[in-house]
A and B are shown apart, each in its own frame.
Chain A
Amino acid sequence: MVGLAPATGYGAVIEYGGTNAITTPVTGIRYASVTSASTIPVRTMGSWGIDYATGDSVTNWLEVEQEWGGVYDPQSGWVQYHPKPKTMAERIKEIIAARNAPAFITNRKALDRPHDIRELRARETLCRVIGEEKYRRFLVQGHVTARAKSGLVYQIFPGHGITSVYDKGKMVERLCVVLRGDFPPTDSLIMRYLMILNNEENFRSYAIKHHVPQSLWPENLEQIVEDAKKNSRPKTLAEIYSDIKTGKHARIGEVAAHMREAA
């Protein structure tokens, strides 16, 4: 090796850019056609060393990482260094790592610790009102749900947040009721929660209704699916053949099933 014996886990010491690299080629991974240390991963480098094979002094040596292999060219005496090809397992690992989501999940609706003493007191009261378990959920989710006597479920947000009304899991109304004055946000939530539980009609009499965003799915989706099931019929052999020809059906099992039905 040249100048410096390689440490465990690292590769050859090579010379670059010096005259000895061309005039005294030796076999083995010793010399490289690189002219700059920046083109390959380098562990250590120096400007002077001893070639143990020939006893000559060399300049501009460097020690490369072990995973760098090389091909010796007997005509020039140079070693063409190139990265060791990655195995399939390594490549798959890299692809999976690149596609992984960040290792932490944040809930943007979670509430921060308030700085206002009034809000702290209000949250303490809320904990008393709804119980500790619901209160912990409120801190994470940012809202409280209340089932009224009518069976409707109200999703209540602090401050001037609009209250969403759900019937069997589907949003049916958005109601806005506020507590006027400089009350902390959670006090407003407590007010709505208790009004809904105590006198739902009274609460609704104050409310202003807002637009309910339409779902992307049609309202009668279930009916459409049921109708489609009723109207479906087994395909004819000609249709199956046509599908296979156009690449729509590639599964032999389905073809076989249709053939059995036809038989």
Chain B
Amino acid sequence: MSMTIEVNPLNGSNIRNQVKIPDSLQLLPDGERPKKNQHLFRIMTAKDGDKRVVWDNRDLDQIADAKAMFDACIEEGLVPYRVDFNGKVTSEVMDEFDPDAEEVIFLPVSKKLGLVAGG
């Protein structure tokens, strides 16, 4: 059974866009840390909080699936930020998938989603 992540669940609306998690990738359970060769996507969702998806950077199939998922997230309007080697997020947005990026955080801040607004 394939897993999905709900993105853009606007309050009060029926919009439920889904990003499919490829079968070769795994959801990281709470409290666990990624293993040595695992890279990580953190995807911010309103329904489940931050979902963590891990993939092995030595497995070409998983890298390809991770790229597909990366592109799917961008298509849904999520914005990827790379986590730097010193453990802090860089201020630059990633333009394309980088298999060397140890960690990527996806935020729902694009204009397409329209979730960011003045209060």
Real complex partners, A and B? yes
Residues of A at under 8 Å CB distance from B? Answer: 116-122, 124-125, 128-132, 160, 162, 176-184, 187, 190-191, 194-195, 197-198, 206-208
Q: Tell me whether A128 and B91 are in contact in the complex, defined as CB-CB below 8 angstroms, given that A181-B10, A183-B44 are known contacts.
A: no
Say yes or no: B119 contacts A177, CB within 8 Å. Answer: yes
- B 85-111 contacts with A by CB, 8 A: 86-89, 91-93, 103, 105, 107-109
Q: What residues of B have a CB within 8 angstroms of the CB of A119 in the complex?
A: 49
Q: What residues of B have a CB within 8 angstroms of the CB of A178 in the complex?
A: 116-119
Name which residue of chain B comes closest to A180, CB basis.
Answer: B115
Closest 4 CB pairs of A and B: A118-B49, A208-B118, A197-B91, A178-B119
**A178 CA to B118 CA, complexed, in Å:** 6
What's the nearest-Cβ distance from chain B to residue A255, in Å? 62
The answer to whether B48 has its CB under 8 Å from any CB of chain A is yes
Secondary structure of the A contact surface, majority rule: helix
Name which residue of chain A comes closest to B87, CB basis.
Answer: A131
Q: A118-B48, A128-B87, A190-B107 are in contact. List 10 more A-B contacts (CB 8 A).
A: A125-B105, A128-B103, A129-B88, A160-B119, A176-B119, A179-B116, A181-B11, A198-B81, A198-B92, A206-B117
Most buried by A among B44, B47, B81: B44
What's the nearest-Cβ distance from chain B to residue A185, in Å? 11
What's the nearest-Cβ distance from chain A to residue B89, in Å? 5
Q: What residues of B have a CB within 8 angstroms of the CB of A122 in the complex?
A: 44, 49-50
Q: What residues of B have a CB within 8 angstroms of the CB of A121 in the complex?
A: 30, 48-50, 52
Say yes or no: B89 contacts A207, CB within 8 Å. Answer: no
The answer to whether B3 has its CB under 8 Å from any CB of chain A is no
The answer to whether B83 has its CB under 8 Å from any CB of chain A is yes
Residues of B at under 8 Å CB distance from A? Answer: 9-11, 30, 42, 44, 46-50, 52, 81, 83, 86-89, 91-93, 103, 105, 107-109, 114-119
Q: What residues of B have a CB within 8 angstroms of the CB of A132 in the complex?
A: 87
What's the nearest-Cβ distance from chain A to residue B95, in Å? 13
Name which residue of chain A comes closest to B52, CB basis.
Answer: A121
What's the nearest-Cβ distance from chain A to residue B78, in Å? 11
Say yes or no: A206 contacts B118, CB within 8 Å. Answer: yes
Q: What residues of A have a CB within 8 angstroms of the CB of B10 in the complex?
A: 180-181
A/B interface sample: 7 pairs, CB < 8 A = A121-B49, A124-B50, A129-B105, A178-B119, A180-B117, A182-B47, A184-B49
Q: What residues of A have a CB within 8 angstroms of the CB of B109 in the complex?
A: 179, 191, 194-195
Q: What residues of A have a CB within 8 angstroms of the CB of B52 in the complex?
A: 121
Name which residue of chain A comes closest to B115, CB basis.
Answer: A180
Say yes or no: A125 contacts B42, CB within 8 Å. Answer: yes
Q: What residues of A have a CB within 8 angstroms of the CB of B87 in the complex?
A: 128, 131-132
